[in-house]
Amino acid sequence: MDAVTYPQDQIVAFVHDYFVPVRIHTDAHPELCAKYRVAWTPTFIVLDPDGTEHYRDIGYLPPPDFVAHLTLALGHTALEQKDYATAVRFFQTVIDRHGASEVVPEALYCLGIAKNRISGGTADDRKAIWGRLMETYPKSDWAKKASSAFD
């Protein structure tokens, strides 16, 4: 990560715009590795100020994928905090700007949830988004999960 992904200016700017990055040196702090369940490096964990974990990813990612995953993490955090409009914005950003990323099916699934919450539980938006998910990514686990809305 240090040699390829993190030193890039756009990555540094993105991380510093949305996160407070903390690096744990695993050899020097095994107690923190145990506390945060770090089994492999790099491990990226998104916590809110209260320490609640909202997203976790393990392993190296090239820069475009790293930004896609972090944007998805922002969407998950907003969704879990019931800030549905912000969640929609981040999930839509993953879909629009990172269309080749493997996290797009997950972003579509979660976008359906966030839109459903905004609409007060009507299924129209969710079904439209999940229909698109099932059509575009039919073999994804996220499409399989979405199919329950159509049974």
pLDDT in tens, 119-151: 987 888 899 999 999 999 999 999 999 998 887
Helices (H), ranges, the chain: 9-18, 30-35, 63-80, 84-97, 104-118, 124-136, 141-146
In the chain, the number of structural domains is: 1
The mean per-residue pLDDT over the stretch 81-109 comes to 98
Q: How confident is the model at residue 43 (pLDDT cuts 50, 70, 90)?
A: very high
Domain that holds residue 78: 9-150
pLDDT, greater one: 2 or 59 = 59
Instruction: With respect to residue 3, please indicate whether it lies within any of the assigned structural domains.
Output: no
Q: Does residue 15 lie in a domain region? A: yes
Is residue 136 a part of any domain in this protein? yes
Residue 109 sits in a domain whose CATH number is 1.25.40.10
In a domain, 108, yes or no: yes
- 2, part of any domain: no
Please report whether residue 1 resides in a domain: no
Q: What is the reported pLDDT for 63?
A: 87
